[in-house]
Amino acid sequence: MTGDPDAQGLRSLLVGGTLGVALLQVTLAGFGFLTAVVLASLIGASGYGEYAWAVAWVTVLRIPALLGRDRLLVRSVAAYYARADWGLLRGLLRRSTFVVVAASLLCLALASAVVWVIRTRVDSPLLPALQVGLLLVPLVALVGTRQGALQGFHRVIAAQMPDAVLRPAVFLALIGGAYLLVGDDLSSEWALLFQVAAAAIGLAVSAYLLRRTVRARVAAAVPRYENRAWNRTALAMASTNGLGVVLQRFDLILVGIVLGATDAGVYGAAIRAVTVMSLGLGAMNLAFAPIISRLHALDDPERLRRGVTRSTRLVFVVTLIAGIAMIAAATPLLGLIGSQFSEGADALRILCVAWLVNAAAASNTLLLMMTRFERAAAVTTGIAVGVNIVLNLILIPVWGITGAAVAMLAAQIARNTLMSTLTWRRLGIDSTILGLSPRGRGPGSGARPVDVAPR
């Protein structure tokens, strides 16, 4: 990506954004691990399992609440910004806020009603925590729209700051204050209420940052709307995101249902620990997403291919280093949270291998979603989810949380194999660490031509 100012500018955006987001991701991982240690010591493995189970459900419900608007905003804001199309940009921001508010409130109402009905028939310690946790759904959905829009404006660090730093810091401050007041009488419900308060503060800050960003040009433009195109694209993206979240959270939810809150707490701690390995992948993808959209809109596939190869190799090296350390230290690392959590060491090691598989083809899903192949990404993710669900149902009753980790590994292998094949066939880009050159590929040799028109 050398030789012209625009290339240097895009490289600066990618490198600067990645480094900045990586620091935020490291901070978030540190806060996350500290939160797990603090909560486990205050409410025990069972209470932490109730908390983690409720948060897993909130993560799943965030998808129908967002309806794909977060990813749509990243892609479309970046494209409109590159073309200086301020009218469509303002219309998209307005309509996305309206859609997400309506969808998230509907999700909150329906889910609360379902949980209330189940509680009248089933006595489970997991359900009261879930009922409180549902209050997070509209808050995290609205934060997602602000993050997506700020990413599209290439303000990647500002997009992540409220959720990566402010929200966990406020949460830990509230937990610490509550401990000073009531001692050990905390519960998973109180912890989730503190998360609601922290998320509300994060949303207020995200909204302020977005207003400052759009004030100059976008606010003065006459809004224009392409509702049908936006809805069609957003729903396809929501399908991919939703299936991806199910892939990441179904195992924990099923562990809670089949094995109980304590095993859910142990497995949830293993999931929390392995997120350290995804820091490089998360940082790169957050910074790279608007650049992919921009290069696609400007019809520059060669620079896109080179950027994908370099970023994937870098992500894999970082993930490999973290993975080796995590596999070697799995037992003592989980033991820091509590002696009971060390039972998840084998599951943690298997999850590390799954994350290495994911890092070996770091940007394949993002590539398809940012280049208008979101439907193909949704179908492929759906296949992986099917593999994950079937294997979880078979293996969790037999092998416990280790079976859940094995199911995740198999699903990640299936998903990344299929997704990388699609990026090669549809875009002529090898999204793996191999970075094979697309010799002879093009519109006449099987690869689809790059298009920038909405579908």
338 located within any domain:
yes
Whether the per-residue pLDDT at 369 is higher than 80: the answer is no
Kindly report the number of other CB atoms within 10 A of residue 132's CB atom: 21
Q: What is the pLDDT of residues 418-450, one digit of tens each?
A: 989 988 888 888 888 888 876 544 433 344 433
Is 438 within the bounds of a domain?
A: no
* Nearest partner of 55 among 135, 133, 154, 157, judged by Cα: 133
Considering the domain boundaries, does residue 441 fall inside one? no
CA distance 359 to 173: 34
**Residues 6 or more apart in contact with residue 19 via CB below 8 angstroms:** 283
83, pLDDT greater than 80: yes
Q: Let me know if residue 32 belongs to a domain.
A: yes
**CA-CA distance, 272 to 280, in Å (whole number)?**
15
Give the chain's domain count.
Answer: 1
For 399-418, the pLDDT digits (tens) are 999 999 999 999 999 999 99
| pTM for this predicted structure | 0.69
Residue 225: domain span = 5-427
pLDDT recorded at residue 448: 41
Residue 436 lies in a domain: no
- pLDDT at residue 4 in the model: 41
**Residue 314 forms part of a structural domain:** yes
Domain assignment of residue 453, yes or no? no
Residue 276 lies in a domain: yes
The model's pLDDT over 152-202, given as tens digits with 9 standing for 90+, comes to 887 877 888 888 788 888 998 998 888 888 776 788 899 999 999 999 999
Q: pLDDT digit string (tens) for 274-326?
A: 887 776 676 666 667 667 777 776 677 787 888 788 888 888 888 898 889 99
